[in-house]
Structure 1
Amino acid sequence: MTVSKISIPHVDALTQESITDDQAQFFLDNGFLVVRNVLQDVELKQVQDEMTVLYQRGASQVVDHPDYMYGKGSLSGKDVLRRIEYVIDKSDVMKALLGHPFILRSVEKLQGQNFVPTWDSMVLKAPNEGVIVEWHRDAEVPEQCTDSGPIFNVDFYLDEADLQTCLWVIPGSNKWSKEQSIARCSRPGFYTDDAVPVPMQPGDVIFHNILLLHGSPSGQGNPLRRTVYYEFRPGEIEMEFGPHTLEYIALKQHMLFDCIERRKQTAYTAAENAYTYTPDGAFAIHEAKKPDTYRYPHQSFFRK
């Protein structure tokens, strides 16, 4: 495949209730899919405002908390906020976002009805301090996992990402071996001849497989770029391979149920066709329980 000639399908949440079979196949083949207009109007503004509050707290001072992560700014060399973990726990608006019906129907199409929400984070490029994100995979997974459905992030863009700040991806690299991935990532510089840029507008979303090779240039002089990441995994993969315990699966399922119900109570979703979560078999939930918390630290639930 010639990367420069790849035809990225147009997916628009304004006119679709879910991704189509053809769009799902593009994602499976290439490791990414762009969806336009997922967040709109009131919801987009509320999500932006809530994440601005979190950003300003961590950017105005170095917060001594494990959920706030920093790196060295590319220009100043000072500590610059790069990531905030567990954003669902920190905001009711982000709880409602987890219940977004277009997103959940699309996740089910790709992973099956027993999917589980796992990570939730906001990743940042601070203004004028855009740190280069070298080519990488989010994680490696056991080879057997690839037969049980893709593990992927849903990336909600809160700010414009132009060619100066956007994500670059290598289509199809989700199917590469670990050795191929390591060899490509070891090449010096931010080499893009085999990659494509993915410019985004506020409210757009990228689905990206955690095995997809991706990164972004430093973008000196860049504006603020905030992206919220919600990761989903097939329950079957979590049950067999982890990395979390079986207890974690049930806790996150109950959290998802609760967030779907919370979304139904928001004023801006009155016209939505709400998503119904129906895990079955060993994953069936017969009585939903209200979560005691929305922050389940990964390290507390990793298998020994």
Structure 2
Amino acid sequence: MTSPAAGDSQFSASELANFNRDGYFIAKGLMPDSYLQRMRQITERDLNAHQGDIEYEAQLHYPGAPDSLDSEGGRTIRRLRQAVSRDPVFLQLVREPFLLQRLQQLLGPHVVMPLAHHNCIMTKQPRYSSDTGWHQDTRYWSFSDGHLINIWIALGTEDLHNGCLQVLPGTHTAQADKDRLDEALFLRTDLPQNQPLLQTAVPVPLQPGDVLFFHARCFHA
């Protein structure tokens, strides 16, 4: 596997400032082609074979998902879980200086990678992929310190036409009142007091090889 040059291993001062302001930053074309190609091979192999630990859309019952595993589209894959266990390339990748040093800039010198949840490959299928509501990823975790950073690597083109991620910039620094969330801790889109915040939504289109760093407290959908 090839890696970016040593000078490409850290955020610039302006990039750090943008992350701290918005709660996310896109490192355009950061992922080397050798890594990108291998991850795509593993993803396509396991998607086609329904191999390994899999989460199906029908299991979550989000809007747009099939009603059950036995209904039409019921075997639409939402995510391939336990990505690190699928091929050595994933563990090798997170040790690369071009990722690790950037994470150290955001988190400090001691970086830990939890494997319990967001160790996965997300997918968007043409017909039966669901809509995910506005949420913070801290809803999944019970760490005492909510200062957590996600790395999202685009394996293909992601845009508004195929369901790219959207974010509410700056929400990583705000405290969301519980009465503005539903029982599953999704931001309620029916409440008048949430409308000004929802109007700040920004799409995050990505090209293959782009790497999105975003704070776990930044609302996204």
Q: SS of the residue aligned with 1:54?
A: helix
Alpha-carbon distance in 2 for matches of 1:19, 1:98: 16
Q: What letter is aligned with 1:145? A: D
Residue in structure 2 matching 1:199, options 197, 201, 205 = 205
- Do 1:50 and 1:93's aligned partners in 2 also have CA atoms closer than 8 Å? no
Equivalent in the alignment of 1:250: none
Residue in structure 2 matching 1:105, options 95, 101, 108 = 101
Alpha-carbon distance in 2 for matches of 1:99, 1:142: 25
Q: SS of the residue aligned with 1:154?
A: strand
Alpha-carbon distance in 2 for matches of 1:170, 1:79: 31
Residue in structure 2 matching 1:171, options 169, 179, 184 = 169
Alpha-carbon distance in 2 for matches of 1:214, 1:206: 12
- Do 1:108 and 1:115's aligned partners in 2 also have CA atoms closer than 8 Å? yes
Equivalent in the alignment of 1:213: 219
- Give RMSD over aligned pairs: 2.7
Deviations 1:84-112 (A, max 9, x none): 22211110222221222211010011111
Equivalent in the alignment of 1:29: 21
Equivalent in the alignment of 2:157: 160
Alpha-carbon distance in 2 for matches of 1:136, 1:83: 17
Q: What letter is aligned with 2:109? A: Q
- Do 2:56 and 2:74's aligned partners in 1 also have CA atoms closer than 8 Å? no
Q: Which runs of 5 or more structure 1 residues have no equivalent in the other structure? A: 1-12, 216-304
Shift in CA distance, 131/96, structure 1 to aligned 2, threshold 3 Å: same
Report percent identity of matched pairs: 23
Structure 1 residue 152, shift from structure 2 partner? 1.0
Equivalent in the alignment of 1:247: none
**Which of the pair is proportionally richer in strand?**
1
Q: SS of the residue aligned with 1:28?
A: helix
Residue in structure 2 matching 1:151, options 120, 144, 148 = 148
Q: Which runs of 5 or more structure 2 residues have no equivalent in the other structure? A: 59-63, 67-71
TM-score normalized by the length of structure 2: 0.77
Which is bigger in relative contact order (C-alpha 8 A, separation at least 6)? 2
Deviation larger for 165-174 or 47-56: 47-56
TM-score normalized by the length of structure 1: 0.57
Matched positions, count: 193
Equivalent in the alignment of 1:16: 8
Deviations 1:65-87 (A, max 9, x none): 6x211113647452321112221
- Do 2:160 and 2:205's aligned partners in 1 also have CA atoms closer than 8 Å? yes
Alpha-carbon distance in 2 for matches of 1:95, 1:48: 15
Q: What letter is aligned with 1:151? A: L
Q: SS of the residue aligned with 1:208?
A: strand
Mark the structure with the bigger radius of gyration.
Answer: 1
Deviations 1:100-137 (A, max 9, x none): 22110100111111111113211111232231111111
Deviations 1:204-241 (A, max 9, x none): 111111111100xxxxxxxxxxxxxxxxxxxxxxxxxx
| Aligned: 1:186 with 2:188 | yes
Alpha-carbon distance in 1 for matches of 2:133, 2:97: 33
Structure 1 residue 22, shift from structure 2 partner? 2.4
Shift in CA distance, 179/43, structure 1 to aligned 2, threshold 3 Å: same
Shift in CA distance, 175/142, structure 1 to aligned 2, threshold 3 Å: farther
Q: SS of the residue aligned with 2:123?
A: strand
